[in-house]
């Protein structure tokens, strides 16, 4: 037997031993975006886990006809149950049946389940309970996401504590809500809401080093919004505040990246306010194409009226941007340190955002750069690698 053959056999034996010693973990998401893949990668490579990924649909997910899924899986063990249909076309009942079959085939020790409000999610919890497996709820919900009624919340909490052994959430507000549902603190992990920090940092820095070649159409100084152009994002409120900023003598521009049902209305609003020349509607961009918008922006603004977390804030911070974030965003308590890396405002008060835009634009460039560096220091504590350690901790517990 050659030395190479011996090494190959040893590698196979090591892999078999790892599977014996590791927790077999199934990770379920409806359609896998780039950040889902970024979260799964350290799970797949973790020495204490034997992780497999399950994507329910291969086309559009829960966001209508907008397709955000990533296919850059790098050979990761991810399976799509229905590659030819979107969430609406596939049918939850059929997906639940396929998921049940797939879990029976994989026989995981533990399952990370996205929410509790779909038939596939419920099927996964029932399969796990029937087979004596561990169920872990992945939750972004906060108490303020929707109107809450005490009796319904009590019933929901009782049901969730039966269905799930533990939960993993994003930060302060998400954990607080899980506690109101009766989850014990020692059964709650954190850091669910993470993105590929290294990617956004490296790509943004590379863009800045190369300069604006190919992106000369971007304004010299601008506030940046990235997200769906939908009512809950409060982009109309941002445009109104930006109009105030311009009336007060500001000369920065506003760049809006994204698409959605409010696009035509928002363009009409900017035109009616006489600021159409200083508002750029860049349209929907994929992960790679969005980086230059982060790289050359001066400040990222998320004005949402409702936002369970706001992952785009993570991306902006990794790219090195200071922030102006609505206090309705679930990430505000965790990611924004006022005066250090940004500001928080009340989106229901039309007097707050406009003056904040003016205040920020009036800061000297060195101060803005320090705030951007602070954003990177903060977001380094919210990485996919640290999330993987939280998953291992809660699985072992």
Q: Going residue by residue through the chain (397 aa), what tens digit of pLDDT does each one get?
A: 444 344 344 433 444 444 557 999 999 999 999 999 999 999 999 999 999 999 999 998 887 666 778 888 989 999 999 999 999 999 999 999 999 999 999 999 999 999 998 999 999 999 999 999 999 999 999 988 878 899 999 999 999 999 999 999 999 999 999 999 999 999 999 999 999 999 999 999 999 999 988 888 899 999 999 999 999 999 999 999 999 999 999 999 999 999 999 999 999 999 999 999 999 999 999 888 999 999 999 999 999 999 999 999 999 999 999 999 999 999 999 999 999 999 999 999 989 999 999 999 999 999 999 999 999 999 999 999 999 999 999 998 7
**Under 8 Å between Cβ of 332 and 388:** no
Instruction: Burial-class residue 149 by CB neighbours within 10 Å (0-12, 13-18, 19+).
Output: exposed
Does the domain at 18-194+383-396 match CATH 1.20.120.1730? Answer given as: no
* The domains spanning 18-194+383-396 and 197-379 adopt the same CATH topology: yes
For residue 68, the number of C-alpha atoms closer than 13 Å in the C-beta half-sphere is 23
> Read out DSSP for 143-197?
TTSS---HHHHHHHHHHHHHH-SEEEESSHHHHHHHHHTT--GGGEE---S---H
Report d(CA 388, CA 168) in Å as an integer: 11
Helix, strand, or coil (residue 302): strand
pLDDT at 14: 43
In the chain, domain spans? 18-194+383-396, 197-379
Where in 227-386 does DSSP place strands (E)? Answer: 253-257, 279-283, 299-302, 323-326, 342-345
Beta carbons within 8 Å of 242's beta carbon, 6+ residues apart: 223, 254, 275, 278, 279, 354, 357
In 3-state terms the chain splits into helix, strand, coil percentages (rounded to 5) of 50, 15, 35
Report d(CA 200, CA 294) in Å as an integer: 9
DSSP state of 397: -
> What phi and psi, each to the nearest 5 degrees, are found at residue 225?
-120, 135
Q: How do beta strands 342-345 and 253-257 pair?
A: unpaired
DSSP state of 70: -
pTM: 0.91
pLDDT at 239: 98
Report the interhelical angle of 311-318 vs 365-379 (nearest 10°): 120
Number of residues that make up the chain = 397
DSSP state of 347: T
DSSP state of 71: -
Report the interhelical angle of 384-396 vs 34-44 (nearest 10°): 60
pLDDT at 68: 79
Question: For residue 81, how many other CB atoms are within 10 A of its CB?
Answer: 21
Does the domain at 197-379 match CATH 3.40.50.2000? Answer given as: yes
pLDDT at 9: 41
């Amino acid at each position: 037997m050659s030395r190479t053959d011996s090494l190959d056999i040893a590698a196979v034996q090591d892999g078999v031993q790892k599977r014996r010693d590791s927790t077999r973990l199934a990770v379920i998401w409806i359609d896998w975006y780039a950040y889902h893949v970024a979260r799964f990668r350290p799970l797949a490579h973790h020495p204490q886990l034997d992780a497999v990924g399950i994507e329910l649909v291969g086309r559009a997910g829960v966001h209508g006809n907008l397709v955000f899924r990533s296919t850059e899986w790098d050979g990761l063990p991810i399976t799509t149950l229905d590659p030819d249909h979107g969430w609406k076309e596939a049918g939850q009942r059929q997906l639940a049946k396929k998921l049940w079959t797939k879990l029976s085939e994989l026989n995981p020790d533990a399952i990370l389940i996205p929410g509790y409000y779909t038939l596939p999610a419920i099927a996964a919890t029932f399969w796990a309970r029937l087979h004596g497996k561990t169920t872990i709820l992945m939750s972004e919900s906060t108490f303020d996401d929707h109107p809450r009624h005490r009796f319904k919340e009590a019933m929901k909490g009782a049901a969730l504590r039966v269905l799930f052994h533990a939960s993993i959430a994003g930060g302060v507000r998400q954990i607080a809500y899980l506690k109101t549902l009766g989850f014990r603190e020692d059964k709650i992990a954190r850091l669910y809401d993470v993105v590929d920090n290294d990617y956004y940092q490296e790509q943004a820095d590379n863009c800045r080093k190369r300069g604006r070649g190919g992106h000369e159409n971007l304004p010299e100084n601008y506030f940046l919004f990235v997200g769906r152009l939908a009512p809950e994002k409060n982009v109309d409120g941002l445009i109104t505040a930006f109009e105030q900023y311009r009336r007060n003598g500001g000369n920065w521009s506003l760049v809006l990246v994204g698409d959605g049902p409010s696009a035509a209305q928002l363009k009409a609003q900017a035109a009616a306010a006489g600021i159409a020349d200083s508002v750029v509607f860049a349209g929907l961009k994929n992960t790679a194409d969005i980086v230059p918008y982060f790289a050359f922006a001066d400040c990222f603004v998320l004005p949402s009226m409702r936002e369970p977390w706001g992952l785009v804030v993570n991306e902006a911070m990794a790219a090195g941007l200071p922030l102006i974030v609505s206090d309705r965003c679930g990430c505000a308590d965790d990611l924004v340190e006022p005066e250090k890396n940004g500001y928080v405002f009340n989106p229901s008060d039309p007097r707050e955002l406009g003056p904040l835009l003016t205040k920020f634009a009036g800061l000297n460039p060195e101060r803005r750069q320090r705030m951007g560096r602070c954003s990177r220091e903060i977001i380094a504590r919210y990485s996919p690698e640290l999330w993987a350690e939280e998953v291992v901790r809660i699985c072992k517990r």
